[in-house]
Structure 1
Amino acid sequence: MSTFAVHIPTAELEADPLDPAQIVSGTPEVSGKVLWESEDGRQIRGIWQITPGVVTDTEANELFVVVSGRATIEIRGGATIEVGPGDACVLQEGDETVWTVHETLRKAYHITLP
């Protein structure tokens, strides 16, 4: 792994279209950038962004910090979490979630795959 710095708020991201089956309402668009991935592909660090709308997801083990925007994350059978700028959030492998994105959300993340 090389040492680097990136300015998350202005980093250029690449389109990463959602599966239409994940979209509950609105026309959310996703973009992202992988900054680093381990040789075995089990550790991933990057930046992810989503525009307003409602989407479903099945989560990986993830720690993320919101840089900008706001969302409500409902975890099936669990908590409802409000996240905004400066908030750190941990999601668990297999969490079934519904994301209601109120303002375009950008986050920096670290994912650990099984």
Structure 2
Amino acid sequence: MEPVAVFPLAEVLVPHEPIAADQVVSGAPTSGAATVTALDGLGVEIGVWEMSAGTATDVEADEAFVLLAGRAVIELEDGAKFEIKPGDLVRLAAGTKTVWHVSEPLRKVYVIKA
């Protein structure tokens, strides 16, 4: 591995696919992810994820991310809501059931155990 690696995240292309119909609550959201790098020996993946405007359900993995662009509200099963905006660092616990209400297309850099 190189001693220093720079990843121009603004240039990472993320191919989108429609979100599964059984997860869509409203709209016609799409999403996609692109792995950027991994931390060898730790089983950690770092990448870019995007979601278009719309509302969809998900079951989360153990993850931390920084929102680079867009706006959304993450809603939990108990009704708790978290507004997220660019620059926010968000931590998600594995198994958490969420509803993503995306008002402006999201782009985040994520760190996840692969």
Where on the TM-score scale, by shorter chain, does this alignment land: which range?
A: 0.7 to 0.9
Stretch of structure 1 that moved more, 53-62 or 36-45: 36-45
Stretch of structure 1 that moved more, 38-47 or 14-23: 38-47
Partner Cα distance (1:89, 1:112) in 2:
15
- 2:107 counterpart SS class: strand
RMSD (Å), alpha carbons: 2.1
Match of 1:91 in 2: 92
Match of 1:31 in 2: 32
For 1:45-92, what per-residue CA distance to the aligned partner results, in whole angstroms no more than 9, with x for missing partners? 100001100000000111000000000000112631100100010010
Decide whether the 8 Å contact of 1:8 with 1:67 is kept in 2: no
The TM-score with structure 2 as length reference comes to 0.86
The TM-score with structure 1 as length reference comes to 0.86
Decide whether the 8 Å contact of 1:9 with 1:68 is kept in 2: no
Query: Where in structure 1 do 4 or more consecutive aligned residues deviate above 6 Å?
Result: none
Question: Structure 2 unaligned runs (5+)?
Answer: none
Larger radius of gyration: 2
Match of 2:83 in 1: 82
For 1:21-59, what per-residue CA distance to the aligned partner results, in whole angstroms no more than 9, with x for missing partners? 111110111122111245689422100001100000000
1:1-114 aligned at under 5 Å gives the runs 2=2, 3-37=4-38, 42-77=43-78, 79-112=80-113
Partner Cα distance (1:32, 1:88) in 2:
18
- 1:93 counterpart SS class: coil
Q: Alignment identity in percent?
A: 35
Q: 1:17 and 1:5, CA in 2 relative to 1: closer, same or farther beyond 3 A?
A: farther
Partner Cα distance (1:16, 1:38) in 2:
27
Question: Structure 1 unaligned runs (5+)?
Answer: none
Decide whether the 8 Å contact of 1:16 with 1:32 is kept in 2: no
